[in-house]
Structure 1
Amino acid sequence: MNQKHLLKVDWSKIPAPADDGAARNLPGQTIPPLDLIATDGSSVRLSELKGRTVVFAYPRTGEPGKIGLVDDWDLIPGARGCTPQACAFRDLFAELKSAGARHVFGLSTQDHDYQSEMAARLHLPFAVLSDENLSLTHALDLPTMEVAGVTLIGRLTLIVDDGRISHVFYPVFPPDRNAGDVLSWLRANPVPR
């Protein structure tokens, strides 16, 4: 089964990921001082950002009209939904900022050139960070999946306050609801003043 449309997904036909405990180590961790290239061309060091930062990580966004990594992508729990997730964060961006997110970033292992094209195509108002070399993924021991010999980040969202992870959404399903869940959490957990 392969649902061809990137944004219109029947989530009842997509297997939900199970909580395998792969993110339980993350709350309380300090983000390591690593530079990640952003789609706006800047270098971002998450460890140095002041205030509250939202980082939603995902395996990889699809390219319209191009073949995916594997034919059964939709059957891999947690794989499908990266584009709907990114678009949901785009659509709620202003509200996320109003609810206390000083910074919002997407994060994947896809390369900078692809991410830049995708961010422009989807009109994302935030930068997407490339962890193509898996430096942040390995340093934080983020959940990963192996697909067709490629290591991808498992879908999760980090709430980072002044360089320290304060909350983790994992597993995330369905992905297009994650931004709304994050917004609700931000509203219920305002940044301490």
Structure 2
Amino acid sequence: MPPRKAAVAAALADPSTLRRSSRNSKAVAAPEEAAAVIAAPPAKKAKVEKVKKGAKKGKPAKEEKEEEEEEEAGEEEKKEEEESKLPTPVGTDAEDVSATVAAEAAAVEEPTKEEPVANPNAVLQLGDALPDVAVLDHAGVPVNLHTLASTTPTIVIFAYPKASTPGCTRQACGFRDAYPEFTASAGVAVFGLSADTPAAQLKFKEKQNLPYSLLADTEYKLLGPLGAKKTAKGGITRSYWVVKDGKLVTMVIGVKPEVSVEKALAEVTAE
């Protein structure tokens, strides 16, 4: 009998041998099967990657890049189309936004500018015109020196603290005595000025026989701008002014009664 057939016959004759062979074959096979199970996932992943690579490999790299760029461009166009359907808010343009921001900043940082208002208490300077205001004279008649200056070449004004007081009487009488010299030239007018009432001025004028008008500036409409108002509450600093051709040419604040007469006369007769 050939050797192979003899081995098969022996195996069939002894069942235990057959069982041992079966167990051994399984024991040997078990590690191979386990290795196969463990290695299965990597094999599957490798296969997937191989498929992907195979798919890319089928096209040139240039074509693939062009397709990717086309897809990106398509997505951008789609996004722009969707945005264009939305209402455009005011100021979305770069220039509009800049203008809006600048306007808002200006509105916040810069307060609304108002037209300058003339300050009634501002002191006049040489070369300025007299305030365009009217005050009552000793007779209660309104007198506007600003208007008078347009027709009278030279105006002399002297201010005194209070009518009928000693120093003010000396000052007023000094201008009374020099009045002919002041008016020797045509176009010269002299005015006394204080915050007394028209009635007090009239009494003072009549008692001292003053030839010129006395102005009752009870609201300091002239005394304030001329700089003779002593304090915010009132009071007068003895002063004098000379106005020529509508402009203030001489302004002396704080002067003695007799000196005011002498210097004012010198200014008028200097020419």
Structure 2-normalised TM-score? Answer: 0.50
User: Aligned partners of 2:226, 2:156: CA distance in 1, in Å?
Assistant: 18
Tell me, which stretches of 5 or more residues in structure 2 are unaligned?
A: 1-121
Verify the 8 A CA contact 2:173 2:208 in the aligned structure 1.
yes
**Are 1:55 and 2:124 an aligned pair?**
no
SS at match of 1:169: strand
**Counterpart in the other structure of 1:143:** 228
Verify the 8 A CA contact 2:220 2:229 in the aligned structure 1.
no
User: Aligned partners of 1:115, 1:155: CA distance in 2, in Å?
Assistant: 16
User: Aligned partners of 1:24, 1:36: CA distance in 2, in Å?
Assistant: 18
Larger radius of gyration: 2
Percent sequence identity is 29
User: Aligned partners of 1:32, 1:62: CA distance in 2, in Å?
Assistant: 27
**Are 1:107 and 2:193 an aligned pair?**
yes
Tell me, which stretches of 5 or more residues in structure 1 are unaligned?
A: 1-22, 64-79
**Are 1:34 and 2:120 an aligned pair?**
no
What is the root-mean-square deviation in Å for CA atoms of aligned residues?
Answer: 2.3
Q: CA deviation at 1:100?
A: 5.7
Q: CA deviation at 1:132?
A: 0.3
Aligned counterpart for 2:242 among listed residues 159, 164, 173: 159
String of CA shifts for 1:57-105, please: whole Å, max 9, x gaps: 1111235xxxxxxxxxxxxxxxx72110000000100101115662100
Specify which structure has the bigger relative contact order, considering alpha-carbon pairs within 8 angstroms and separated by 6 or more residues: 1
> Structure 1 residues 34 and 24, CA, compared in 2 at 3 Å: closer, same or farther?
closer
User: Aligned partners of 2:240, 2:228: CA distance in 1, in Å?
Assistant: 11
**Are 1:178 and 2:263 an aligned pair?**
no
User: Aligned partners of 1:143, 1:135: CA distance in 2, in Å?
Assistant: 11
String of CA shifts for 1:127-148, please: whole Å, max 9, x gaps: 000110112223x1513225xx
Verify the 8 A CA contact 1:81 1:176 in the aligned structure 2.
no
Q: CA deviation at 1:25?
A: 4.7
> Structure 1 residues 32 and 24, CA, compared in 2 at 3 Å: closer, same or farther?
closer
Q: CA deviation at 1:24?
A: 8.1
Alignment length, in residue pairs?
147
Verify the 8 A CA contact 2:158 2:239 in the aligned structure 1.
yes
Verify the 8 A CA contact 2:138 2:201 in the aligned structure 1.
yes
> Structure 1 residues 143 and 95, CA, compared in 2 at 3 Å: closer, same or farther?
same
> Structure 1 residues 43 and 162, CA, compared in 2 at 3 Å: closer, same or farther?
farther
Verify the 8 A CA contact 2:123 2:227 in the aligned structure 1.
no
**Counterpart in the other structure of 2:252:** 169
1:31 partner letter: L
**Counterpart in the other structure of 1:69:** none
SS at match of 2:269: helix
User: Aligned partners of 2:259, 2:161: CA distance in 1, in Å?
Assistant: 16
Between structures 1 and 2, the one with greater strand share: 1
1:161 partner letter: K
SS at match of 2:133: coil
Verify the 8 A CA contact 2:228 2:253 in the aligned structure 1.
no
User: Aligned partners of 1:153, 1:31: CA distance in 2, in Å?
Assistant: 18
Between structures 1 and 2, the one with greater helix share: 2
> Structure 1 residues 96 and 187, CA, compared in 2 at 3 Å: closer, same or farther?
same
> Structure 1 residues 162 and 40, CA, compared in 2 at 3 Å: closer, same or farther?
farther
Verify the 8 A CA contact 2:241 2:264 in the aligned structure 1.
no
> Structure 1 residues 82 and 101, CA, compared in 2 at 3 Å: closer, same or farther?
farther
String of CA shifts for 1:144-169, please: whole Å, max 9, x gaps: 225xx961221111101233211112
Verify the 8 A CA contact 1:60 1:152 in the aligned structure 2.
no
Structure 1-normalised TM-score? Answer: 0.68
**Counterpart in the other structure of 1:129:** 215
